Chains A and B, each alone.
Chain A
Amino acid sequence: MRKRINHLNRWGKICLSVLVLMYGLAIFADFISPYSYKDEDRDFSYCPPTAVEFMDHGQWVHPFIYGRALTFNTVHRRVYVIDHAQRYPLHFLKGGRLLTVDAPGRFYPWGADARGRDLFSRIWYGARISLSIGLMGVAISFILGLLIGGIAGYYGGWVDSSLMWICEMFMMIPGFYLMLALRAAVPENFNSVQVYVSVVVILALIGWASLARIIRGMALSLRERDFVLAAKTLGVPDIVIIFKHILPQTISYSMAALMLTVSSYILAEAGLSVVGLGIQDPIPSWGNLLSDAMGIVPVIFAPWILLPGLFIFIAVMCFNVVGDSLRDVFDPMFNEK
């Protein structure tokens, strides 16, 4: 694998490092974010991002933030003005968090949402959900795809055609419709862990069919190879041939398809959550963070709530670029480089 990474092109490497960074930040969300994801303060609804001040009257001082005073303008809209009387020094590494301020003050590096929760914290807690859900879903899809594609490709004949028929059935329902129909079958009283698992399963059910077809195509050509014939003549059972000789060969080649599937799952989760059918509110995911931004009015007055969309974009783009450059590594003829 290491060797493969070295063969990625420049953009592939850059995007891979961005992804590693994002996963790292998601893992350390507890540490880097100033608040917990459900820490709310309704007095700071849609509070704009707070600037960190380093200078006071031309002198370098310990970094601090100014407090915000809530006023209403002539049309009774909330306006936050900087209150120079209140100053809150930034605490470094206090209470297990990287940067915090003392209680009456609120530190919002990227602004607050409707309920005065810190968007920065929620984005990184949400990254845990959004970035992991794609990987989990792909893991399940891939196992299903390997099993079914491998068996179909190896045996051929009626086994192949009936399994592929089932695949085709899943591909005949447009993805988003399938997703909503599957979601309709999920009971409403699930807790957050159960919802997470059901979203993973739903995602896995959408994408396994196309992976199975890719793997089946490879297995179909691999079974004609001499080493398979050799194994057969030696009396190796079919199951062992499929799992030990055929499937391992397909894994490296399907890596590119896997990356593209992860990115499509991240998009799908976001789509499901944005319409309120995915991860449910106090738990953040990039999709349900954006559901606030689906109306035009909040976006006009608090444009920072669009930020989670930027992160979805970056993550999806990185997975796509890494997938594309992996394909160049494994299949140099594809893009005619």
Chain B
Amino acid sequence: MIKHIIQRLCSKILLLLAVSFFTFWLMHATPGNFFDSLRLNPQISQETVARYENLYHLNDPLLSQYGHWIVNILHGEWGYSFYYNVPVTHVLGSRLFNTFILSFTSLLFTWSVAIPLGIWAALRRNQWVDRVLSVISFAAFSTPGFFLAVLVLYWASHWGGLPLGGMHSPNYDDMSIVGKVWDTARHLVIPAFVLSLSSIASLQRIMRGNMLGVLRQQYILAARAKGLPERVVIYHHALRNAFNPLVTLLGYEFAALLSGAALIEIVCSWPGLGSLLLTAVRSKDVYLVMSSTLLASVLLIIGNILADILLTWVDPRIQYEKKN
């Protein structure tokens, strides 16, 4: 199994290299040099621009520029953000952490709500619970996340019980540790809830489908025929098998979550990677665009690998030596 994980890791690293080259090439496909806007800025001397051009090897051929960029990245030198006027790494660290908090909370919430709902709907198939849940799922799945965020913020502005956007209250620095955690948690409620809603909808449907599929199997019939209590049949025999395919989904779930998180971060002014990328794209801050895209892919790949490992743990029948 460890061999398998290492194999997967290697192929993912290769993919990551390809992703990085793609983003790099993309930034170069833009007509003009990145530094054209700097050159037009009267506050920056021509020498500084020339120095940057040398530093980032901008006059070399594309492949060698890419080589320099990658080597720099491996050395922890991610380039310079011209919008924030600091090295990119200074901005990225906290943003990455914030996006992680948001996605992780939302993932936890999604799974703890969607799985029981899915089981419930499957056990009450075609009864009113199932019908109501499926209508709600369709509606939640079709609502644009950012729109829902605005509606919830609108409601919260009337209610006044929750902070409207941001991540910290203005007096955050004066709070105790417990106060800080509580404050962040309160700010997290709206974005995490909005982000979870559509994934809950889809996951609930998938769990319902899996559960129904498993309940049709012969071994469930056998278990029932044997006279096992319904509770044991469902939670011991059916649930475990219905659960497996979901773990594979976890990786994709993570992708959707990161994408969705970006827009909701922007609407709820949550200082994460997505809102950073938006600022970077708007201000044509090339290194920031490349590194935040790359980091988002890294997050996604880590999510995928974790899902892989989790799958081998949940389902011991999977034999990787045969598959690969």
- Indicate which residue in B143, B212, B259, B282 contacts A177 across the interface (CB closer than 8 Å): B259
Distance from B176 Cβ to chain A, minimum over Cβ atoms (Å): 30
Stretch at the interface among B17-25, B87-95, B222-230, B312-320: B17-25
Complex: chain A residue closest to B262, CB-CB:
A176
Let me know if B138 is at the binding interface, CB within 8 A: yes
Once A275-B266, A312-B147 are accepted as A-B contacts, the answer to whether A169 and B142 lie under 8 Å apart by CB is no
Distance from B267 Cβ to chain A, minimum over Cβ atoms (Å): 6
Tell me the complex Cα distance, A57–B31, Å: 67
Stretch at the interface among B48-56, B69-77, B241-249, B296-304: B296-304
Q: Indicate if the CB atoms of A184 and B289 lie closer than 8 Å.
A: yes
Instruction: Convert B16-58 into 0s and 1s, putting 1 for each residue whose CB lies closer than 8 angstroms to a CB of A.
Output: 1011001100110111000000000000000000000000000
Task: Please name all residues of chain B whose beta carbon is closer than 8 Å to the beta carbon of A187 when the two chains form the complex.
Answer: 30-31
Task: Please name all residues of chain B whose beta carbon is closer than 8 Å to the beta carbon of A175 when the two chains form the complex.
Answer: 255-256, 259
Task: Please name all residues of chain A whose beta carbon is closer than 8 Å to the beta carbon of B300 when the two chains form the complex.
Answer: 172-174
Task: Please name all residues of chain A whose beta carbon is closer than 8 Å to the beta carbon of B292 when the two chains form the complex.
Answer: 177
Complex: chain B residue closest to A333, CB-CB:
B213
Tell me the complex Cα distance, A182–B27, Å: 8
Task: Please name all residues of chain B whose beta carbon is closer than 8 Å to the beta carbon of A182 when the two chains form the complex.
Answer: 26
Task: Please name all residues of chain A whose beta carbon is closer than 8 Å to the beta carbon of B273 when the two chains form the complex.
Answer: 177
Q: Indicate if the CB atoms of B150 and A299 lie closer than 8 Å.
A: yes
Q: Indicate if the CB atoms of A174 and B296 lie closer than 8 Å.
A: yes
A267, A312, A334 — which one has the most chain B CB atoms within 10 A of its CB?
Answer: A267
Stretch at the interface among A45-53, A88-96, A99-107, A316-324: A316-324
Let me know if B235 is at the binding interface, CB within 8 A: no
Tell me the complex Cα distance, A182–B262, Å: 15
Q: Indicate if the CB atoms of A174 and B27 lie closer than 8 Å.
A: no
Tell me the complex Cα distance, A296–B22, Å: 38
Let me know if B293 is at the binding interface, CB within 8 A: yes
Tell me the complex Cα distance, A181–B260, Å: 16
Tell me the complex Cα distance, A185–B281, Å: 9
Q: Indicate if the CB atoms of B19 and A172 lie closer than 8 Å.
A: yes
Q: Indicate if the CB atoms of B29 and A185 lie closer than 8 Å.
A: yes
Once A172-B300, A177-B258, A187-B31 are accepted as A-B contacts, the answer to whether A309 and B144 lie under 8 Å apart by CB is yes
Instruction: Convert A42-85 into 0s and 1s, putting 1 for each residue whose CB lies closer than 8 angstroms to a CB of B.
Output: 00000000000000000000000000000000000000000000
Task: Please name all residues of chain B whose beta carbon is closer than 8 Å to the beta carbon of A294 when the two chains form the complex.
Answer: 146, 150, 267
Once A172-B297, A173-B297 are accepted as A-B contacts, the answer to whether A312 and B144 lie under 8 Å apart by CB is yes
Let me know if A274 is at the binding interface, CB within 8 A: yes
Q: Indicate if the CB atoms of A320 and B142 lie closer than 8 Å.
A: yes
Complex: chain B residue closest to A181, CB-CB:
B293
Let me know if A270 is at the binding interface, CB within 8 A: yes
Let me know if A21 is at the binding interface, CB within 8 A: no
Q: Indicate if the CB atoms of B19 and A174 lie closer than 8 Å.
A: no
Instruction: Convert A282-303 into 0s and 1s, putting 1 for each residue whose CB lies closer than 8 angstroms to a CB of B.
Output: 0000000010011010011001
Task: Please name all residues of chain A whose beta carbon is closer than 8 Å to the beta carbon of B267 when the two chains form the complex.
Answer: 294
Q: Indicate if the CB atoms of B277 and A177 lie closer than 8 Å.
A: yes
Task: Please name all residues of chain B whose beta carbon is closer than 8 Å to the beta carbon of A320 when the two chains form the complex.
Answer: 138, 141-142
Task: Please name all residues of chain B whose beta carbon is closer than 8 Å to the beta carbon of A171 when the two chains form the complex.
Answer: 255
Chain A contact surface mostly: helix
Q: Range of interface residues on chain A?
A: 35 or more
Let me know if A165 is at the binding interface, CB within 8 A: yes
Complex: chain A residue closest to B148, CB-CB:
A309
Within 267-304 of B, Cβ neighbours of A (below 8 Å) are at 267, 273-274, 277-278, 280-282, 284, 286, 289-290, 292-293, 296-297, 299-301
Tell me the complex Cα distance, A263–B143, Å: 11
Let me know if B164 is at the binding interface, CB within 8 A: yes
Let me know if B175 is at the binding interface, CB within 8 A: no
Tell me the complex Cα distance, A293–B148, Å: 12
Task: Please name all residues of chain B whose beta carbon is closer than 8 Å to the beta carbon of A324 when the two chains form the complex.
Answer: 138
Complex: chain A residue closest to B22, CB-CB:
A169
- Indicate which residue in B142, B209, B256, B286 contacts A317 across the interface (CB closer than 8 Å): B142
Q: Indicate if the CB atoms of B142 and A263 lie closer than 8 Å.
A: yes
Tell me the complex Cα distance, A172–B146, Å: 23
Let me know if A277 is at the binding interface, CB within 8 A: yes
Let me know if A183 is at the binding interface, CB within 8 A: yes
Task: Please name all residues of chain A whose beta carbon is closer than 8 Å to the beta carbon of B153 when the two chains form the complex.
Answer: 296
Task: Please name all residues of chain A whose beta carbon is closer than 8 Å to the beta carbon of B306 when the two chains form the complex.
Answer: none
Let me know if B216 is at the binding interface, CB within 8 A: yes
Distance from A256 Cβ to chain B, minimum over Cβ atoms (Å): 14
Distance from B283 Cβ to chain A, minimum over Cβ atoms (Å): 10
Let me know if A168 is at the binding interface, CB within 8 A: yes
Distance from A166 Cβ to chain B, minimum over Cβ atoms (Å): 8
Complex: chain B residue closest to A184, CB-CB:
B281
CB<8 Å pairs between A and B, sample of 8: A169-B15, A173-B296, A177-B292, A180-B277, A290-B147, A309-B147, A335-B209, A336-B213
- Which residues from chain A sit less than 8 Å from chain B, CB to CB? 165, 168-169, 171-178, 180-187, 263, 267, 270-271, 274-277, 290, 293-294, 296, 299-300, 303, 306, 309, 312-313, 316-317, 320-321, 324, 334-336
Q: What 11 new A-B contacts, CB under 8 Å, besides A177-B274, A267-B144, A317-B142?
A: A168-B15, A173-B296, A177-B277, A177-B296, A180-B262, A183-B281, A277-B282, A299-B150, A309-B147, A321-B138, A334-B209
- Which residues from chain B sit less than 8 Å from chain A, CB to CB? 15-16, 18-19, 22-23, 26-27, 29-31, 138-139, 141-144, 146-147, 150-151, 153-154, 157, 164, 209, 212-213, 216, 255-256, 258-260, 262-263, 266-267, 273-274, 277-278, 280-282, 284, 286, 289-290, 292-293, 296-297, 299-301
